[in-house]
């Protein structure tokens, strides 16, 4: 079971890179937790309406459960196999172990209100996906790292196209045998023919054992212990930019799950450079920063990268 804390990064990406809700602008401001300290307009900027869409069994409901638990909305993690998830509430859904209708769930993360719509993945309930996408402002597409893009992935992508929704892809099940981040990314690029740039890089220990991630804009490494008995709240974190400043002489920690930091650093820098090149091709202002910087993959600050990602998002 993948450490629950892995979803911290996913929630952070949602709040950082998805745009302001277009739906709430046209309705009267009602009640939100930020209303006491901020005005309605400011609070609206803290809302994200996100639809989770995918092929069947890619892990939409499971991902929703982890986000709800990690954000403190639930006291225990529901499991599809046990029939105790929040969004699969119909008796028939719990018996079959699949989502039949779209269901909403809400959580708060870093002063943002995130409204999730968990949609069915089965082809027979495609109309439910259509209903869900009509009520959101962005889409989180989940793909199985063992399978890449599947038939229904293409269908829900086309549905998101019709509503002109900005999209983020979450590669799920990275802890499974035969999981491949590179193959998943290749299948996305081949099937959809658009520019995908990874914001994170998977980190493995030993022979393809997934243990953590590197956030490429900030070069922050997060590794979770191999012991799955914990709830994901304990993890090892390292700033790879500091490892870079030390000349790559940092020694592995007992908590780093066997990850060799000096060995991870060049891989992270290469992945970050690919991200920067992709962004520079889409944003002229960032392209100037990139060209003027010496060793941009090492020297460009994370703030510049994040700002560029937001500008590129607004172009979509």
Which structural domains are found in the chain, ordered by start? 1-196 (3.40.50.300), 200-316 (no CATH)
What value does the mean pLDDT take over residues 233-242?
Answer: 83
- Res 59 pLDDT > 80: yes
- Res 248 pLDDT > 70: no
- Res 25 pLDDT > 90: no
Strands (E), the chain: 47-54, 103-109, 112-118, 138-144, 167-172, 200-205, 209-215, 220-223, 236-239
Residues with Cβ within 8 Å of 120's Cβ and at least 6 positions away in sequence, in order, are 56, 98, 99, 100, 101, 102, 126, 128, 129
Q: How far apart are CA 9 and CA 215, in angstroms?
A: 8
Q: Name the residue with tokens 């520079």.
A: 280
pLDDT digits (tens, 9 = 90+) for 157-192: 999 999 999 999 999 999 898 999 999 999 999 999
Q: How far apart are CA 269 and CA 262, in angstroms?
A: 11
Residues with Cβ within 8 Å of 204's Cβ and at least 6 positions away in sequence, in order, are 210, 211
Q: Name the residue with tokens 């920067």.
A: 276
Q: How far apart are CA 292 and CA 36, in angstroms?
A: 45
Query: In the predicted model, what is the mean pLDDT of the chain?
Result: 84
**Which residues, listed in sequence order, are joined to residue 221 by a DSSP beta bridge?**
214, 238
pLDDT at res. 1: 36
CA atoms within 13 A on the CB side of 311: 15
Q: How far apart are CA 188 and CA 194, in angstroms?
A: 8
Burial of 122 per CB tally in 10 Å (0-12, 13-18, 19+): middle
What value does the mean pLDDT take over residues 213-230?
Answer: 82
Structure tokens at 82: 């046990």
Q: How far apart are CA 146 and CA 129, in angstroms?
A: 23
Closest CA to 316 of 282, 286, 277, 281: 282
What value does the mean pLDDT take over residues 95-100?
Answer: 87
- Res 250 pLDDT > 80: no
pLDDT at res. 30: 40
pLDDT at res. 27: 38
Q: How far apart are CA 84 and CA 67, in angstroms?
A: 15
pLDDT at res. 207: 74
* 313 C-beta neighbours (distance < 10 Å), count: 15
pLDDT at res. 168: 94
Q: How confident is the model at residue 34 (pLDDT cuts 50, 70, 90)?
A: very low
- Res 131 pLDDT > 80: yes
What value does the mean pLDDT take over residues 241-258?
Answer: 68
- Is residue 127 within 8 A of residue 100, CB to CB? The reply is no
Q: How far apart are CA 107 and CA 29, in angstroms?
A: 18
- Res 50 pLDDT > 60: yes
pLDDT at res. 91: 87
Q: How confident is the model at residue 70 (pLDDT cuts 50, 70, 90)?
A: confident
* 93 C-beta neighbours (distance < 10 Å), count: 20
pLDDT at res. 278: 94
Q: How far apart are CA 128 and CA 120, in angstroms?
A: 7
pLDDT at res. 26: 40
pLDDT at res. 313: 80
């Amino acid at each position: 079971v993948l450490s629950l804390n892995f979803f911290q990064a996913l929630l952070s990406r949602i709040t950082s890179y998805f745009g302001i809700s277009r739906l709430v602008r046209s309705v009267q401001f009602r009640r939100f937790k930020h209303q006491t300290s901020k005005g309605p307009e400011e609070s609206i900027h803290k809302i994200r309406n996100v639809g989770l869409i995918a092929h069947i069994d890619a892990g939409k409901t499971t991902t929703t459960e982890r986000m709800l638990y990690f954000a403190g909305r639930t006291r225990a993690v529901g499991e599809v196999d046990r029939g105790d998830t929040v969004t699969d509430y119909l008796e028939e859904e719990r018996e079959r172990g699949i989502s039949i209708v779209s269901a909403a769930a809400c959580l708060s993360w870093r002063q943002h209100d995130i409204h999730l719509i968990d949609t069915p993945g089965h082809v027979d309930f495609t109309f439910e996906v259509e209903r869900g996408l009509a009520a959101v402002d962005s889409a989180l597409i989940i793909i199985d790292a063992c399978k890449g893009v599947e038939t229904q992935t293409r269908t829900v992508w086309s549905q998101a196209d019709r509503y002109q929704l900005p999209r983020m892809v979450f590669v799920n099940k990275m802890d499974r045998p035969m999981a491949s981040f590179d193959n998943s990314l290749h299948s996305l690029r081949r099937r959809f023919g658009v520019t995908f740039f990874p914001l994170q890089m998977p980190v493995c220990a030993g022979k393809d054992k997934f243990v953590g991630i590197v956030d490429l804009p900030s070069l922050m490494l997060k590794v979770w212990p191999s012991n799955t008995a914990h709830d994901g709240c304990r993890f090892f974190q390292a700033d790879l930019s500091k490892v870079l400043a030390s000349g790559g002489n940092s020694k592995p920690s007992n908590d780093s799950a066997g990850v060799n930091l000096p060995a991870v650093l060049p891989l992270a820098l290469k992945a970050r450079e690919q991200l920067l090149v992709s962004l520079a091709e889409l944003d002229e202002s960032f392209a100037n920063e990139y060209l003027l910087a010496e060793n941009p993959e090492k020297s460009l600050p994370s703030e510049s990268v994040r700002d560029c990602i937001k500008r590129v998002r607004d172009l979509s």
